Amino acid sequence: SFSSFFDDFIRQCGGFAVIDGGLATELERLGADLNDPLWSAKCLIDSPHLIRGVHLDYLEAGANIIISASYQATLQGFQAKGFSIEESESLLRTSIKLACEARDMHYVRGSRNNIHHHQPVLVAGSVGSYGAYLADGSEYSGVYGDGIDLSYLKQFHRRRVQILAENGADLIAFETIPNKIEAQAYAEILKEETELKVPAWFTFNSSDGVHVVSGDSVKECARIADSCDNVVGVGINCTPPRYIHGLIQSIKAVTNKPILVYPNSGETYDPIRKEWETCSEGVDFVPYVEKWREAGATLIGGCCRTTPATIRAISDLLRN
């Protein structure tokens, strides 16, 4: 079953798995220009080698799961840029191929350096929300307007999910889910597409620690994920670190599935004032990882502005 596959994977990782960190930030650091509605998916077109390089950096830093550069890669978005449907599907396949190539290179390096016991690595195919395709910030508000109903969202996402699942993704990462209706759309696609042979995780984003960004309850959203057999993990991403501990507790109240968190960087905890403060860069929420693990998270990584240094620090902490 899907859940035993994922449980086995977590066990092989030592009971806790490390998710990679921010992709876009690293691509920009390497010189990519992401000022485009396609965001990091733009690199699938003009600099795929950079994507492969970032995946490899995260693997070398200790990540067990690397997430493909397909968050913003929608067939509709590519076609709006003038690509044919065939070219658009090919770019989606490329996102998985690059992650798989990075994994192969990582394994070769490990065997060359006589590292016999290497950790297992999964490639997660990223699916961003409808709001991510709109590229107007609505992925952070969860407000899509009247015409966008369940059947529209299912039709929008279905083919992309099929392509990622059929071309080497070990699981589908439905990320930064901003509202209940999109979670429902994903759950129905997974139930209807009986040919899909891969599990999925659902991660939501919150700006207040109680609701997803649309105002829907985090617990209600997590219940939708819990009710879907294909979903092997439920959690939070793209969220300020200050809310993670409470969100883990909320999710834990409604599911027994593994809980994953990969928050944004840019905050640091001041133990004297006992509050989170904005900071510019750096390995900032890592001291809190131990508390998240104790609260019940079994997969931990980073989202926006986190780097291989963040992931290395998380990996060192979880491995020791």
pLDDT band at 275; cut points 50, 70, 90: confident
- Cα distance between residue 245 and residue 251, in whole Å: 10
> In the structure encoding, which two tokens stand for residue 76, read together?
């509709």
Q: Sort 36 into a burial class: Cβ within 10 Å, 0-12 / 13-18 / 19+.
A: middle
Tens-digit pLDDT profile for residues 202-223:
999 999 999 999 999 999 999 9
Question: If you average pLDDT over residues 288-302, what whole number do you get?
Answer: 97
> In the structure encoding, which two tokens stand for residue 114, read together?
């006589």
Candidates 257, 319, 259, 265; CA nearest to 288 is 265
Name the residue with tokens 């995946």: 55
Write down the domain spans for the chain.
2-319
* Average pLDDT in the chain: 93
33 contacts 22 by C-beta, under 8 angstroms = no
Question: If you average pLDDT over residues 234-248, what whole number do you get?
Answer: 96
Name the more confident of 185 and 116. 185
Q: Residue 36: its pLDDT value, please? A: 81
Examine the pLDDT at 93 and tell me if it is beyond 80. Answer: yes
Least confident of 3-7, 138-142, 198-202: 138-142
303 is in an annotated binding site: yes
Amino acid at position 116, single letter = H
**2-319 adopts what CATH topology?**
TIM Barrel (3.20.20)
**pTM > 0.75: yes or no:** yes
Examine the pLDDT at 282 and tell me if it is beyond 60. Answer: no
Tell me whether strands 275-278 and 267-270 are parallel, antiparallel or unpaired.
antiparallel
- Cα distance between residue 120 and residue 222, in whole Å: 27
Percent of the chain with pLDDT over 70: 96
279 is in an annotated binding site: no
In order, the DSSP letters of the chain are -HHHHHHHHHHHTTS-EEB---SHHHHHHTT----STTGGGHHHHH-HHHHHHHHHHHHHTT-SEEE-S-TT--HHHHHHTT--HHHHHHHHHHHHHHHHHHHHHHHHHHHHTT--SPPP-EEEEEE--HHHHHTSSGGGT----TT--HHHHHHHHHHHHHHHHHTT-SEEEEEEE-SHHHHHHHHHHHHH-TT----EEEEE--SSSSB-TTS-BHHHHHHHHHT-TTEEEEEEESS-GGGHHHHHHHHHTT--S-EEEE--SSEEEETTTTEEEE-SSSS-SGGGHHHHHHHTEEEE---TT--HHHHHHHHHHHH-
Examine the pLDDT at 105 and tell me if it is beyond 90. Answer: yes
